[in-house]
Amino acid sequence: MTATIFDIDGTLTDTVKVDDKCFIRAFENVFGINISNQNWSEFKNVTDWGITEEIILKKRNRIPTDLEYKKMISEFIRILKKEFQVDKSQFNEVIGASEFVQFLKQKSNLAVGIATGGWEKSAILKLKSIGIESSEFAFSNSDRFKKREDILSDTIQRLKEKLDNKIERIIYFGDGTWDFLTCKKMGIEFIGIDNQRNNKLKNIGAKIIFKDFKQPEFIYERLKIE
């Protein structure tokens, strides 16, 4: 059995811009700190939890309180929902993503999971916007763990429990350099999604990259799943 696991922002949903915009605005509203010029790839843990913690450690020399985390998540979701109401086109899918997930879901030799560095409620909102219900899949997020490798490991464990440890191969689809580096660290196969056509994954050594999912049969054949 092969496990195929997906990131969300920039991989399944074309939501990197709106996610960044809402996160930056929420952070300033809650903490009074402008992070609009922040490079996400500079963080040790590129997850909503990790980014929040590292910025407050740097700026305030402490970690956020539980109440501050709750306020940050609440404000972020509030702004994200407002943006969805104003302009749903900011929450489009990466071309063919929903169809591809359903295509894989029908394969008897495959199991599908979702592992995102985003917070749970934001992840669910974005998945629903393209017709994917997170409850149908093994799913982990930054509500559960700070580190990407822990989020991915949690998804893998959930799939193993569901399938009586019959997983022999793991493939992760992601768009971020941190996705590639996490997979390399964990010894997991990586498939890049270059929805922005910026070649950043190619430049750091990713071997198999697709721009989108509009050719599901072709992608499936490239995966060489038996």
Helix (H, G, I), strand (E, B) or coil at 46: coil
Local confidence pLDDT in tens for the 226 residues of the chain = 899 999 999 999 999 999 999 999 999 999 999 999 989 989 999 999 999 999 999 999 999 999 999 999 999 999 999 999 999 999 999 999 999 999 999 988 899 999 999 999 999 999 999 999 999 999 999 999 999 999 999 999 999 998 887 899 999 999 999 999 999 999 999 999 999 899 999 999 999 999 999 999 999 988 877 6
Q: Which of 146, 139, 142, 143 is nearest to 115 (CA)?
A: 139
135: left (phi over 0), alpha (psi -120 to 50) or beta: alpha
CATH number, position 143: 3.40.50.1000
How many separate domains does the chain show? 2
Domain span at residue 216 reads 2-15+93-223
pTM, 2 dp: 0.95
Q: Are 77 and 160 found together in one domain?
A: no
Strand partners, 172: 5, 190
Where are the alpha helices (H) located in 14-96, listed in sequence order? 16-31, 48-60, 66-86
Q: Are 55 and 106 found together in one domain?
A: no
